[in-house]
Amino acid sequence: CLERNDPALAERFVPRIADDTGKHMTSAMVLTEKAGGSDVGVNETTATRATDGTWRLNGEKWFCSCAHSDLILVLARPEGAPAGSRGLGLFLMPRLLEDGTRNTFIILRLKDKFGTRAMPSAEVGLRGAFAWQVGAIERGLPQMMDMVNLTRVGIATATAGAMRRNAFEALTHARGRTTFGERLDLHPLMRDQLVELVVDSVAGLTAALGVADMLDRADSGDGTAELTLRLQTPLFKLHGTERARVAATEAMEVRGGDGFIEDWPEPRILRDVYVHAIWEGSGNVIALDTLRAIEHGALPGFVADTERIAESVSGSGPASSLGQVVLNGLRDIETTVASLPDDAESRQLPVRRLARRMAMLAIGARLAEQGNAFAADTGSGRLAWLAARYLSRLGGHAAQRTIVDDASWLQHAPAILHGGHVPADVAQDAAQAVTAQLLVTAPV
């Protein structure tokens, strides 16, 4: 945020934030007030310019994580600025002033939160707190959105990590637990449940690495990547937060009664993943942000990037048939967008389902691409099989049963679950079966 919008503040503070000698500065951001959460345009915190050009902030922030940070980005309304989000400015507020005294903001109370208890969150009162203006005063919210979007990338990564942890805990428990005279992970239904956790884990990692790569390209000046990132970021955030909640619940169920006991990690993991669905935009906010991005011309870049990957998938490899699934899905996305109603209320109704499909197509294309590459490198079709199972979700039960209900995959379950060798022809057969069904199944 500082590097993109305020070179002077960036030169002063970014090296200290990035310091790896143990003397680094910590940082946070504060948007939420009682008046406005997602609707920050109604926020009431004010900013008054001092004679030396710095600012003094007054108001109350309702939810501030890491309020003990050395530097905090704050949205506030300069005196005389218009109402609404366009009137907000962005400010950098230090914890300590240059003379070493504390800045004039106070911790009103710590939040008693459902999850993320290891990270304190607080209500903060600003009492004439000293702050520097960040960038152009009239571009407060757009500048803060740089930070918000970066945090959304972080959420995609965090949910990928949570899904991986859930898969690990479930696999470890099932491999070491005996039920009805047999190891738990040998029961067919349990294997099916575990595979779903592995699919989500691998898909989450694929999304996190994909959006991180796009972010690197955008930061290097790639304009096409920046446009693609405008849609990828909210889409992958939405996908990760929805699937992580499902995975946390399923992993708790795998452990059984112990999964409901605080001695085990599942309760904490479940509580912690729920906040990601709220931070930096709840699902509906993300869906509406997706719609705004589409309306501002971001769809062609997203389609072109996903199309490029799908076409490369279609060349050769066990997942090659899945390329056509993605290409057909993209055409359907374009048709759906073109047919969105003009009426503002009706226009919103399909958007969250549309966003889910867009995310799945983008992630599925990348997973299929990795499946082909992995098969070329190792001869194993494991990732290609997982890609087929993942993309089968696009077609609902009719498509899923083509791969799930075919018991032939059970003999390869240990390799699928734990990372062993899966014959490439097994993956290819699964991909072709899923593709055949999806090509005749209307999108869900």
Q: Cα–Cα distances in Å, from 182 out to 179, 185, 405?
A: 5, 8, 22
Average pLDDT of span 379-401: 96
The average pLDDT across 62-90 equals 93
Three-state DSSP class for residue 43: coil
pLDDT grade, residue 40 (50/70/90)?
confident
Are 27 and 17 a contacting pair, CB within 8 Å?
A: yes
Phi, psi (deg, nearest 5) at residue 140: -60, -55
Question: What is the distance between the alpha carbons of residues 106 and 68, in angstroms, rounded to a whole number?
Answer: 10
Distance CA 89, CA 68 (A): 22
Report the chain's mean pLDDT, rounded to a whole number.
Answer: 95
Q: What is the C-alpha to C-alpha distance for residues 135 and 140, in angstroms, rounded to an integer?
A: 8
- Of 78-82, 143-147, 156-160, the one with minimum mean pLDDT is 143-147
Tell me the average pLDDT across 24-34. 92
- Kindly report the length of the chain: 444
Cβ–Cβ < 8 Å for 189, 203: no
Split at pLDDT 50, 70, 90, the class of 444 is very low
Q: What does the pLDDT read at residue 132?
A: 97
Residue 152: what pLDDT?
94
Mean pLDDT score, 418-434 = 97
What is the pLDDT confidence band of residue 441, given thresholds at 50, 70 and 90? low
Distance between CA atoms of residues 319 and 204, nearest Å? 19
Residue 443 confidence (pLDDT): 52
Per-residue pLDDT at 440 exceeds 90: no
Mind listing the pLDDT tens digit for each residue in 14-26? 999 999 998 899 9
| Domains of the chain from N-terminus onward | 2-135 (2.40.110.20), 143-287 (1.20.140.10), 298-438 (no CATH)
pLDDT for 230 equals 93
Residue 4 in this model has a pLDDT that exceeds 90 = no
pLDDT for position 145: 87
Q: Report the relative pairing of strands 46-49 and 55-65 from DSSP bridges.
A: antiparallel
Q: Which of 165, 184, 162, 189 is nearest to 173 (CA)?
A: 184
pLDDT tens across 190-243, in order?
Answer: 999 999 999 999 999 999 999 999 999 998 999 899 999 999 999 999 999 999
